[in-house]
Structure 1
Amino acid sequence: MLLGLRHVIYDFLSIVIANIAIIMGVVLIYRGLFRFLGITLRHERWLSTTLVVLLAALLYFYTFHIPDINIRIQAFSMVCAAICLIGASGLLKHRDIRNRMVAKMLIAMFLLMSSLFIFRFFWSFYAIPPQDFMRAGLLSALTIIAGELLVILSSFCTIWMASDELQDELSEIARIDPLTGLYNRRAFDECCDIEFSRAQRSGAPFAIIMCDLDHFKNVNDEYGHHVGDEVLRRFANTLKEHIRKHDVVARFGGEEFVLLLPGKDTEQGLEVAEKLRAKTADTQITIGDDVCLTLSASFGVAHYDSRDREWSAVLHRADNALYAAKKQGRNCVVDLATKNPGEECLSRTPTVIRI
């Protein structure tokens, strides 16, 4: 608007302020994109600020002291080209953009803008200086159009990326238990579907562990649900901290949790379960000044068998093993893979039992 009012308003507004506003618009566009994508570009702050201040000084000097429209065009062209290159370099540096097509479109647009202004800079040495900027020819018109396209495209791409982020966030919310931060039953089922398909193709083993906090109802009854919730969160953290990164742990419901251990057979699953059982029994949970609890948990272990037609068969065996652990005294690990009866599982005696 300010450019269009040339010769109607003061030159300071229609030349200096108008061109600085255009440059600042491009800076704000890529800074907004950088912030949205979490991009940190070294030296960008002082570099872009320096370029804007330098352009303002050149525009002012060659408008009011030594009027020269050609130098103004050259100064604006080089600063705008540099600003666009900063935007492109920031996006090129960020390699974790989920939608690569969006990134490519934005990078291409910034590079196109930069190329146009670089060409315009060199062309100004040969072209006749225009007397009226609004009638400066095709090249100037193209640069203005490219600037408008940059605004439109960046807005479109930002909305596109925001939609992807929101979709991922909603998908994650649907898969996460809000109390413990673990996967919920739905997410666990999806992971088991994938692992079961892999096991059928390659024969790779996997184990499932079901575990349950012993006498958890007493905690809720005696101390209240707020303490019970904190106990569940602490137990969930214990499970997460003592498994591998690619293992899956989920809250199955209430005080019951389930783990998927890819690549592990029953023996290895028993070792993991016993480590978790011992860690739980050794952990003292202090909440405030009045509550100090030492809890225990029971574990049932099962592994994939080539005769299984679906992964839920493994889960069913692990559930039966957990029931057996509770029936035999709690605070123990049970595996139903073998038929040899084991000794009684006592809550105060950490043991691994097979029955």
Structure 2
Amino acid sequence: MAIQLDFRTLSLTLMLFSLVFGLGMFAYSREHAKFSGIRTMGAGYLLIGGGCVLLGLRHFIYDFVSIVLANTAIIIGVVLIYRGLFRFRGISLRHERWLSTTLVLVLAALMYVYTFHIPDVNLRIQAFSIVFAAACLIGATGFLRHRESHNRMAGKMLIAMFLLVSAFFIFRFFRSFYEVPPEDFMNAGWLSALAIVAGEFLVILSSFCTIWMASDELQDELSEIARIDPLTGLYNRRAFDECCDIEFSRAQRSGAPFAIIMCDLDHFKRVNDRYGHHVGDEVLRRFANTLKEHIRKHDVVARFGGEEFVLLLPGKDTEQGLEVAEKLRAKTADTQITIGDDVCLTLSASFGVAHYDSSDREWSAVLHRADNALYAAKKQGRNRVVDLGTENQSVQAEQMLSTQP
């Protein structure tokens, strides 16, 4: 049996799409409560579906319900879709709320007038088309002003979707002036059927792009988690290696200097042995905060392992790196760490500094020199900053190793 794609059949398909995607959005929002706006979009889909049901019941229920309420519900659904998308992406569009409210009220008033006071199907088509187009333009404007949307394919697709749907309804608006007014909206012609298809396009693509963006965000979070030390919130060694790869490539191209500082807390094992690992963990967190708070925004600090930390200072040579390290050493020594009522600690840290040299074949050579300098700081009594230089460092390191008891 062939299915005739008349207005009622298309309305039924849009209703089914809206119901499925609406309930799907509610379920997704429940499982991923961190994403705001998705529930709002789900409500928008359900309103569109409900409006389509009422439209399909034309001649079977009151005209106020099947015309005024049905078309108003659909427009409110569109408003909730782009409003949910705005909340999801953190978009704030000036005057959006009163513009959206005005559109809904204007449509409801025009539908009422053109149904009961000036009955005219063509006027209702024109009113609905221009309001729908305006609503889609608001959605497109929000994403066009949101710069991040231009860098993501899903954002570009949403912009294109809103603009295409808006363009279709503007075309429908002007086309209606040249058509014979239909006696019955259920037989209003192919443009009205395509309007239902445009609604399906809006529902399907907006939900698809939303889930796509949510998946991208979750993937970015997982990638970031893989780069972060869970105890201190600093970068881990993997992330530090990636930053050093980038900085080393830049240094090779432009000759720009960079310095690496390695540091660790002195006698940290005594803290763990005396007070327990919970106190030791808190000490590491406090020390990590000290490092983060006293470096530049574009400097990189990472936990290298245990109580050892490493810093990457782009644009700084050894002398400048020594200044930074000394400031961090002094700040650490002057900071009293109080944990609860029983623990009050004053700790110190040792620092080794090295900088990029044009003869370095890889950035790990700089790290190796900084590590040797840190070892020298420990050997010389701790709570100090050491730079062994580039040329004589390996010799000094060997001498220190040979004198180790």
2:277 matches 1:221: no
Partner residue of 1:87 out of 139, 143, 155:
139
Partner residue of 1:192 out of 225, 239, 244:
244
The aligned runs of 1:1-355 (5 Å cut-off) are 1-97=53-149, 99-337=151-389
Q: Which amino acid aligns with 2:109?
A: A
Q: Which amino acid aligns with 1:146?
A: A
Three-state SS of the structure 2 residue aligned to 1:261 is: strand
Verify the 8 A CA contact 1:212 1:256 in the aligned structure 2: yes
Distance 2:369 2:278 in 1: 33
Moved more, 103-112 or 61-70: 61-70
Verify the 8 A CA contact 1:99 1:161 in the aligned structure 2: no
Distance 1:297 1:101 in 2: 47
Distance 1:98 1:302 in 2: 41
Distance 2:116 2:290 in 1: 71
Three-state SS of the structure 2 residue aligned to 1:182 is: coil
Q: Which amino acid aligns with 2:122?
A: N
Displacement, 1:185? 0.4
Verify the 8 A CA contact 1:179 1:229 in the aligned structure 2: yes
Distance 2:327 2:344 in 1: 22
Three-state SS of the structure 2 residue aligned to 1:258 is: strand
Distance 2:287 2:165 in 1: 55
Three-state SS of the structure 2 residue aligned to 1:74 is: helix
Residue deviations 1:244-278 (CA, integer Å, cap 9, x gap): 22211100011110011122221111111111111
Displacement, 1:64? 3.2
CA RMSD of aligned residues (A): 2.1
Residue deviations 1:331-351 (CA, integer Å, cap 9, x gap): 100111175999xxxxxxxxx
Q: Which amino acid aligns with 1:267?
A: E
Distance 2:96 2:340 in 1: 47
Displacement, 1:112? 1.9
Displacement, 1:54? 2.6
Verify the 8 A CA contact 2:121 2:184 in the aligned structure 1: no
Distance 1:54 1:98 in 2: 32
Q: Which amino acid aligns with 1:23?
A: I
Unaligned runs of 5+ in 2: 1-52, 397-405
Displacement, 1:22? 1.6
Distance 2:63 2:118 in 1: 14
Rate the CA distance shift 1:211–1:98 in 2: closer, same or farther, 3 A: farther
Moved more, 63-72 or 132-141: 63-72
Displacement, 1:226? 2.4
Rate the CA distance shift 1:98–1:118 in 2: closer, same or farther, 3 A: closer
Displacement, 1:98? 6.8
Three-state SS of the structure 2 residue aligned to 1:180 is: coil
Distance 2:281 2:352 in 1: 23
Three-state SS of the structure 2 residue aligned to 1:2 is: helix
Distance 1:291 1:56 in 2: 68
Three-state SS of the structure 1 residue aligned to 2:352 is: strand
Distance 1:165 1:192 in 2: 25
Distance 2:237 2:295 in 1: 19
Q: Which amino acid aligns with 2:112?
A: Y
Distance 2:152 2:376 in 1: 51
Distance 1:332 1:119 in 2: 75
Q: What is the match of residue 350 of structure 1?
A: none
Verify the 8 A CA contact 2:300 2:311 in the aligned structure 1: yes
Three-state SS of the structure 1 residue aligned to 2:157 is: helix
Verify the 8 A CA contact 1:208 1:318 in the aligned structure 2: yes
Unaligned runs of 5+ in 1: 343-355
Distance 1:66 1:226 in 2: 77
Distance 2:274 2:239 in 1: 32
Verify the 8 A CA contact 2:144 2:150 in the aligned structure 1: no
- Percent identity (aligned): 87
Distance 2:127 2:323 in 1: 70
Q: Which amino acid aligns with 2:83?
A: R
Residue deviations 1:146-191 (CA, integer Å, cap 9, x gap): 2211111112211221222122111111101111111100001111
Verify the 8 A CA contact 2:292 2:301 in the aligned structure 1: yes
Distance 1:304 1:217 in 2: 32
Rate the CA distance shift 1:97–1:109 in 2: closer, same or farther, 3 A: closer
Distance 1:292 1:93 in 2: 52
